[in-house]
Amino acid sequence: MLKKVNPFWKKFLQDLGFDEDVKNFVKKIKPPWKYIWLILFFTLLFNFTTVIQPLILAKLFELINSEKSIWLLNLIVLGGILLFLIRGVSQYFQGYLLAKASQEVLTEKRKEFIEIVFKQPVYVLERNHSGHLVSVVISNIAAIVSDLPGLIIGYINSIITLIFSLSWIFYKDVTLGFMTIFTLPALTFVLKHFFKKVENIAELIQQKISHLITGMNEVFRYMRVVKVFNREEFEKQRVFKLIDEYKNLQLRLARISMLQKPAAEFVASLSLIVITWYSGYLVIKGVLKPFDVIAYWGYVAISVSPITNLSASLFNTRVIFGYIKEFMKTLSSLNINEFDNSLYEYNQDIVFRGKITFDSVSFGYDENKILDKVSFTIYPGQKVAIIGKSGIGKSTLISLLVKFYKPIEGKIYIDDIDIEKINPNILRKNISILTQEIYLFNDSIFKNIEYSKQGASMDEIVEACKKAEIHDEIMSKKEGYNYVVMEDGKGLSGGQRQRIALARLFLKDSPIVILDEPTSALDKINTEKIVKSIFTYFKDKTVIIISHTIDVIKEVDRVFTIQDGKIIEQDKSLLQSKS
């Protein structure tokens, strides 16, 4: 598209910050036409009431001069009242419908973005900070969409008034017309200067908001750590610094934006001064009637403000394009849809028997290899313990199995099907995981457990909780299952959280069960009870359990150790006699 326009405009659009990113963004906006037609109607009406004013004024002077009729004077004044009434009404509808249209687009864009976020695999999402994603939804999209319609109306208003006034002036006198527009080229130079200055500020502002949200979220969530290390002052200053940096950027933008308006106005006024002289000259020469001068001045007055408004609109466009660029940068990092059916052969529900095979699987988060050509097979119904020192790659192994991350080389099979060919939805239906860190939502205990099986009945949930040895403790709370867990699981003990998370797995009832340190927060008695539950109720399932607890090692069929990126199967009888 850029190639077809002439070089001057091409250069101008480039200075304005228009590029492929902006083009792609604009192309994807679905304008709410039902409002747009109405907005256009009221905008035209509003503009009509603007451009008609000088004509009425001139007519008024002419009439009171020639007719000397009070009756006519009154009529014109009444017409004036009606005109301003129409103006007010159209301004109201224009503004309200505009807000409505922009809210619709805003909401749609936000939902669209969230839709994209949910399609991303874990390894893509973990590259983006959650605070950044929040800031995109809350601030970045709003900054673009809320200002966009006002900007478009600004353009329409400026252009209509400009065209109307200029046509009239040209009609009256061509020389005058040229005098009015002679400042326009000078104005583009002024604007270019300001475009340069504003470059990147919009992007920086959005980045700063993202840092601010991220920083505050972290501090507010980890208040206990902050307090226990007496770091309130430090954290406060850290947040203050971000707030100040944000303020400085906003001020920089305000300085430039406030400067461009008087600069544009000054340049536009130059024509005014030249015209003053020339119109006076024309009156003296008898070319222009004195009444024409009144109307003419009215037009000059209303043509200066659309020129400066146009300049302000262009400046704001540059700012919005900056916001769009920052948005598109985030969007381009979220370019995968892990649930795209066309990527897989298996998109229909399958219930696996639970055979798991790793074939020469290697993996590292960066250049450091954590797993190096790891191979093993676990048969349906087997119970396997994985041991190995901290940070060696036990949890990583599990992340690969549920496709949170992809192996660098090698293949993983479930029931001899390459998991690359299985839609993650289907795969994860077959696997229950108790992650090492426990995630509970700020919702009732009931809802937290039901999370693993939507629509589960109270009886099912109670049964799962009994298996997880947590039912009695839930009942000892006044609200029982309706007890609302606070943010990050606060309000429950570490061991209670762990058992509630385990209850989710008993409820889900999938053929493969993975437990990452399921008893790490439990005392000896509870550990014994839980281990017994696990091996009783998951008897028919394939179970992988990361644990160094002797109660667990005793119960499993096989023990794997991870060491130097390799997996080694231990001789269980030897291990038992050693312990």
Give yes or no for residue 436 binding Mg ion (CB under 5 A): yes
Q: Given the complex with ligand ATP, which of 394 and 504 has the nearer CB atom?
A: 394
Residues 236-275: x where in contact with ligand ATP by CB under 6 A, - otherwise, as a string: ----------------------------------------
Q: Which of 188, 333, 362, 395 is the binder for ligand ATP (CB under 6 A)?
A: 395
Distance between CA 157 and CA 39 in Å, rounded?
Answer: 12
CB 398, min distance to Mg ion, A: 8
Q: Given the complex with Mg ion, which of 312 and 434 has the nearer CB atom?
A: 434
Residues 229-248: x where in contact with Mg ion by CB under 5 A, - otherwise, as a string: --------------------
Choose the stretch contacting ligand ATP; rule: CB under 6 A; options: 94-102, 340-348, 392-400, 497-505.
392-400
Nearest to 360 by CA among 343, 372, 350, 348: 372
* Helix or strand holding residue 310 (H, E): helix 290-333
Nearest to 474 by CA among 450, 500, 438: 500
Give yes or no for residue 396 binding ligand ATP (CB under 6 A): yes
Choose the stretch contacting ligand ATP; rule: CB under 6 A; options: 28-36, 386-394, 505-513, 536-544.
386-394
Distance between CA 533 and CA 527 in Å, rounded?
Answer: 10
Is 515 exposed, middle or buried, given 0-12, 13-18 or 19+ CB atoms closer than 10 A?
buried
Give yes or no for residue 126 binding ligand ATP (CB under 6 A): yes
Question: Quick one: DSSP state of residue 384?
Answer: E
Q: Are the beta carbons of 184 and 307 closer than 8 angstroms?
A: yes
Q: Given the complex with Mg ion, which of 437 and 443 has the nearer CB atom?
A: 437
Distance between CA 26 and CA 39 in Å, rounded?
Answer: 19
Tokens 């309000």 appear where?
491
Give yes or no for residue 7 binding ligand ATP (CB under 6 A): no
Q: Given the complex with ligand ATP, which of 54 and 393 has the nearer CB atom?
A: 393
> Residues of 266-297 as b/e, b for ≥16 C-beta within 10 angstroms?
ebbeebbeebeeebeebeeeeebeeebbebbb
Strand partners, 138: none
Work out what residue 401 binds among Mg ion, ligand ATP, none; the CB cut-off runs from 5 to 8 Å by kind. none
Work out what residue 407 binds among Mg ion, ligand ATP, none; the CB cut-off runs from 5 to 8 Å by kind. none
Choose the stretch contacting ligand ATP; rule: CB under 6 A; options: 328-336, 394-402, 421-429, 520-528.
394-402
SS3 of 256-277: the string is HHHHHHHHHHHHHHHHHHHHHH
Work out what residue 6 binds among ligand ATP, Mg ion, none; the CB cut-off runs from 5 to 8 Å by kind. none
Choose the stretch contacting ligand ATP; rule: CB under 6 A; options: 56-64, 272-280, 391-399, 477-485.
391-399
Q: Are the beta carbons of 141 and 106 closer than 8 angstroms?
A: yes
Q: Which of 87, 394, 504, 508 is the binder for ligand ATP (CB under 6 A)?
A: 394
Work out what residue 520 binds among Mg ion, ligand ATP, none; the CB cut-off runs from 5 to 8 Å by kind. none
Q: Which of 171, 277, 281, 365 is the binder for ligand ATP (CB under 6 A)?
A: 365
How many positions of this chain bind Mg ion (CB under 5 A)?
2
Write out the two tokens for 465.
Answer: 């909780």
Give yes or no for residue 396 binding Mg ion (CB under 5 A): no
Side chain identity at residue 56, one-letter code: I
Distance between CA 42 and CA 91 in Å, rounded?
Answer: 7
Q: Which of 154, 322, 354, 393 is the binder for ligand ATP (CB under 6 A)?
A: 393
Other beta carbons less than 10 A from residue 222's beta carbon: 13
Upper half-sphere CA count for residue 235 (Cβ side, 13 Å): 19
Distance between CA 35 and CA 558 in Å, rounded?
Answer: 67
Q: Given the complex with ligand ATP, which of 95 and 424 has the nearer CB atom?
A: 424
Distance between CA 34 and CA 22 in Å, rounded?
Answer: 25
CB 559, min distance to ligand ATP, A: 15
Distance between CA 322 and CA 73 in Å, rounded?
Answer: 53
Residues in the chain: 579
CB 574, min distance to ligand ATP, A: 23
Geometric angle at alpha carbon 23, from 22 and 28, rounded to 5°: 100
How many positions of this chain bind ligand ATP (CB under 6 A)?
12
Q: Are the beta carbons of 208 and 246 closer than 8 angstroms?
A: yes
Give yes or no for residue 370 binding ligand ATP (CB under 6 A): yes
Give yes or no for residue 395 binding Mg ion (CB under 5 A): yes
Choose the stretch contacting ligand ATP; rule: CB under 6 A; options: 152-160, 190-198, 309-317, 389-397.
389-397
Nearest to 12 by CA among 254, 311, 265, 328: 311
Question: Quick one: DSSP state of residue 485?
Answer: P
Q: Given the complex with Mg ion, which of 362 and 395 has the nearer CB atom?
A: 395
Phi and psi, residue 521, nearest 5°: -105, 10
Q: Which of 130, 347, 382, 436 is the binder for ligand ATP (CB under 6 A)?
A: 436
Choose the stretch contacting Mg ion; rule: CB under 5 A; options: 71-79, 145-153, 277-285, 389-397.
389-397
Tokens 């667990």 appear where?
552
CB 30, min distance to Mg ion, A: 45
Residues 464-483: x where in contact with ligand ATP by CB under 6 A, - otherwise, as a string: --------------------
Provide the binding-site residues for ligand ATP, judged by CB under 6 A: 126, 365, 370, 388, 390-396, 436
Provide the binding-site residues for Mg ion, judged by CB under 5 A: 395, 436
